[in-house]
Amino acid sequence: MSATTGPAAREPGYLPLFDAGGEEEFDPWPGWAAPHLPAHPKVTIERLEAELRRLLKPGLPATARTVGDVLPNLRSVVARSVHPYDPVSRVDSLNRLLVRMLVERDDGSAARILFAIAKGTRGTTLTARRGMAARALSYEVTHFRKQIEPKLLEELATALYTDLLRYKRRVRRSATSEEPTGDTPSITADDFTHEEELVSRIWQYVYGWRAELIAVGRLEGQPGYESQVEDHRRAAAQKEAGLRALVAEYSRSYGSPLVPQGDAEYSAEGLARLLQPSPKDAADDW
């Protein structure tokens, strides 16, 4: 089934993402943010290899016409795009990712020549680029096309798949007894993405909700503060509703119930537990 079909794909805020991993998924916090949405379709290394092969003839940069439906909709590509709901932005994100992977390869310039990012190769035919790549590795052209080129494509597809796994649902420690921690965040050019903005707004609401609950607990029971306590209760309810809406949007967009902060990840459900009294505290209130 295509990721761009089905009723869920037509819902506001739903991105047509392709994911990685096996068919079986272990999700210890299911159904909190977007229980009605289906699992995103999975890709394989073989499928990625086939999609990369179709890019060989036109070369990079890929365009909406040459790229197909899979590569620009990989979760790892969408997460890096500045405007994830814009197909042009996703294609731009894909081009930047592929160029970085090709430049970082340690096998010389053959793969860069093949995908037309080496100097002097843009606009050349695939036949001409195969000849240049074969000469760069001191191979005969037919041997390069039949034996070496498939290996280069497989290696690049594997790198894409491995990178995609970084954006897969990852089972990490629960947030039942942890407080959010981390270094003071900085802002770099890599942070100018929809995902990073959404994560920052989620934590903004987490701490806003926590502040209102603290205000209620601090003032409750003190004479003369009844109206302020009620104001803080209403503000806490608004913050909670806003937090749940943001987490639902994150789950719809990126398919994960885990919200990152620094090196840690917190379940969407666990964010609420962070703000509630512990069982011991609740017993003490009685």
Q: Where are the domains of the chain?
A: 7-165, 189-285
Distance CA 243, CA 206 (A): 7
| Sequence-separated (6 or more) residues with CB below 8 Å from residue 168 | 19, 20, 21, 75, 256
Q: Torsion-angle region of residue 262: left (phi > 0), alpha (psi -120 to 50) or beta?
A: left
Global pTM value: 0.58
pLDDT above 90 covers what percent of the chain?
A: 38
Helix ranges restricted to H, the chain? 45-56, 75-80, 87-104, 110-114, 126-136, 141-143, 149-165, 194-219, 226-254, 268-275, 279-285
Peptide bond into 61 cis (omega under 30): yes
Can you tell me the mean pLDDT for 48-60? 95
Taking the alpha carbons of 154, 155, 161, 164 in that order, is the dihedral positive or negative?
negative
| Residue the block writes with tokens 């806490």 | 236
Asked whether the beta carbons of 3 and 16 are under 8 A apart, the reply is yes
Rounded distance between C-alpha atoms, residue 210 and residue 239, angstroms? 9
pLDDT of residue 22: 59
How far is it, in rounded angstroms, from Cα 73 to Cα 159?
Answer: 16
Percent of the chain at pLDDT > 70 equals: 68
For residues 36-52, give the mean pLDDT.
Answer: 83
- Tens digit of pLDDT for each residue in 217-272? 889 888 888 899 999 999 999 998 888 888 888 877 776 656 666 545 666 556 65
Q: Quote the CA–CA distance of 276 and 146 in Å, as a whole number.
A: 62
Torsion, Cα 131 133 138 139, to 10 degrees, reads -60
Q: Which residue has the tokens 């003190």?
A: 222
| Residue with more model confidence, 42 or 262 | 42
